[in-house]
Structure 1
Amino acid sequence: MSSLDDFDDEPADQAVQALRACNAAPRFAAELVAGRPYRDVDTLVTRAEEVARSLPWDEVLIALGAHPRIGDRMAGDSTEAMSSRTEQSSMTGADDATREALLDGNRRYEDRFGHVFLIRASGRSPEEMLAELERRLGNDEDAERAEVTEQLAQITALRVKALVS
């Protein structure tokens, strides 16, 4: 898709498929498609964030399943894989110690919370992501779920904007 008009006019099943690369939670795509047409890109992006923030935890977990670990390169040429590689592009400059610390932190995080560590990587250095990972390891379950949901909303907004821009 290349524009908001294309998104608004696309058959529903194709729009849902495109949105799944932005957020894999089924409710997310269904709600955004049901809200078409959108007045402008900002309205669509705002709605995408609202829907992502309102997802029940079981749907957030579905969305998390489509995200690689920080520092892992997602293979393939799917829209989601390309988005992930772009978002994590700062990792190409990470030194070995930072990469190793992220690998260790990812393991500890997954052992503690049972899912991948999710963070909006776009605009963040590897060191910033590592610091956030270490900080969030101290969260309780409820606080971490809230942070994960917020990070998912931010990632979703970036991807939806890219989809229609």
Structure 2
Amino acid sequence: MDLQEFNSASADQLRPMLAACCDVSRWVDGILTKRPYGDLVVLTAVADQLLRELDDNEVDRALRAHPRIGDRAQGASTEASWSRKEQSGVGDDPEAKKAIAEGNREYEARFDRVFLICATGLSAQEILANLRQRLTHDDATEAAAVREELRKIAVLRLGKVVEA
């Protein structure tokens, strides 16, 4: 949909699409209540600012909507389809997939959450290198990294909802 359609669509129509970008009600509501948007730059800036304001519980909620990196999202939902495309760089290399799966387990044991990365355009080796590097973070540094990756994913997905 283009920006004009986005601005005029009902909230009920947009809510599931926005939740597929970031499954946090306050973020979705914030995007909806600030309509109409004059251009995509303003919409993106509002979305970005609202993402930066998420509290820890909202970040945790948003993370629950993301599959592990390397796991194929199941189903026909918009979010599952986007996730499969975003993770296409993981590919079918069994060694890389095994290393990522092991890294996921180590990450989850260390940080008690799913490893999140904006995987669009990244190869399996790049994802694995990032995963290994982030395992060296302290809790605060990693929490900031998670927020940044969540922000990048949500903004990228919002661009899929509203295409010029």
C-alpha displacement of 1:46: 2.2
C-alpha displacement of 1:54: 1.6
Give 1:141's aligned residue.
139
Give the letter for the 1:116 counterpart: V
Aligned pairs for 1:1-165 within 5 A: 2-92=1-91, 94-165=92-163
Residues 74 and 85, structure 1, Cα contact 8 Å, conserved in 2: yes
C-alpha displacement of 1:23: 0.4
Give the letter for the 1:95 counterpart: D
1:41-92 deviation digits (Å, cap 9, x = unpaired): 1221222122112210100111000000110110111110011011111122
TM-score by length of 1: 0.95
Give the letter for the 2:5 counterpart: D
**Whole-Å separation in 1 of the counterparts to 2:137 and 2:89:** 25
**Cα-Cα RMSD:** 1.0
1:78-133 deviation digits (Å, cap 9, x = unpaired): 110011011111122x4211111100000011111111000000011111110010
TM-score by length of 2: 0.95
- Structure 2 gaps, min length 5: none
- Structure 1 gaps, min length 5: none
C-alpha displacement of 1:14: 2.2
What percent identity do the matched residue pairs reach? 44
Residues 119 and 148, structure 1, Cα contact 8 Å, conserved in 2: yes
C-alpha displacement of 1:13: 2.5
> Number of aligned pairs?
163
Give the letter for the 2:105 counterpart: R
Secondary structure of the residue aligned to 1:21 is: helix
Residues 22 and 159, structure 1, Cα contact 8 Å, conserved in 2: yes
Detail structure 1 runs of 4+ shifted over 2 Å in the superposition: none
